[in-house]
Amino acid sequence: MRLKFIKPMEPDLVDTPPQGGEWLHEIKFDGYRTQLIKDEDGIRLITKNGYDWTSRYIHLAEEAEAIEAQSFIIDGEAITVNEAGLSDFHALQSAMTRRKPSRDLYLVAFDVLHLNGHDLRNVPVDDRRKILQEMIPLVGRIQFSKAMPGTGDAVYCLADKAGLEGMVSKRKDSTYRSGPTMNWRKIKCYTEKEMDIIGVQRETGKPAMVLMADKGLYAGGAFVTFKADMRQRLWDRVQGKVGGPVPIGLKNDKVEWLKPGLVGRVRFLKGEDKLRHAKLLDFRDKR
């Protein structure tokens, strides 16, 4: 029987980890959500939107041959790691653009939805994960995502100190249902830093964004989510600085480049070279 791709179950983003013993907590890996399928047609690796990327993940497909089962659907995250051993999203993006399939990929498996002709989606996630752990070989580039011991707060503190992207908490008795759910929750780790505001991008129908530089190097964009009065104060400050130099390699007709002198405090995802999921928290004139 040919197995069909199952639309993933998606954790809702929340600010704090859930409390209580009815939750399990995993490290959130920064990569591409991937479904690993084996059936009578062989092994396939499918993106979260249903695209077949087996050719890009051919080395992971070869590793999957070591999983002893006639058929399965495994849910996981394709990642690559940096020298510190942390998942590195930018390195993963780079690996995906190369002509030759990268050998530096891992698949972190965290759920099994189908096994040897049996649909497991109505089985509690805690039990599904026990089944999955028995399936995954102890060595290799397909690895099991172990639950972290301790409370949600303790796991979050560990992830934060380690410079990880965050954590995912799952209600132990939850069944697998495609789409967003509060039975799974993701909590991201952020950091804050002051940087120079070098440009503003305002387009009708799109969120406003400030472009930032850190020690003279372009760092990326941060969304402006201020309320009306503070937003207006920002635009008033910006107006007096329009006409700054266009940074080399960043020509963009939709951006108003600014003269130096405006600094912004930005909140952004931890462990990144460039700003990701960034938000402008405050701004001031440079002293």
- Percent of the chain topping pLDDT 90: 72
Class of domain 9-188: alpha beta
| Phi, psi angle pair for 134, to nearest 5° | -70, -25
Tens-digit pLDDT profile for residues 175-233 = 999 999 999 999 999 889 999 999 999 988 888 999 999 988 999 999 999 999 999 99
The CA distance from 191 to 222, in Å, is 13
| CA-based nearest residue to 61, from 27, 103, 95, 9 | 103
Residue 4 is predicted with a pLDDT of: 95
CB 73 within 8 A of CB 112: yes
**Helix, strand, or coil here: 245?**
coil
Tokens representing 250? 């960043």
Residue 156 is predicted with a pLDDT of: 94
The CA distance from 144 to 126, in Å, is 13
- 252-277 average pLDDT score: 87
Residue 90 is predicted with a pLDDT of: 64
**Helix, strand, or coil here: 22?**
coil
**Candidate CATH numbers 2.40.50.140, 1.10.10.10, 2.160.10.10, 2.60.40.10; the one for domain 190-285:** 2.40.50.140
* Residue of higher predicted confidence among 1 and 171: 171
What is the residue extent of each domain of the chain? 9-188, 190-285
Residue 287 is predicted with a pLDDT of: 77
Ordered DSSP codes for 9-36: EEEEE-SS---STTEEEEEEP-SEEEEE
Residue 124 is predicted with a pLDDT of: 98
* Residue of higher predicted confidence among 249 and 77: 77
Residue 279 is predicted with a pLDDT of: 94
The tally of CA atoms less than 13 A away on the side-chain side of residue 105 is 32
Tens-digit pLDDT profile for residues 115-132 = 999 999 999 999 999 999
250 C-beta neighbours (distance < 10 Å), count: 13
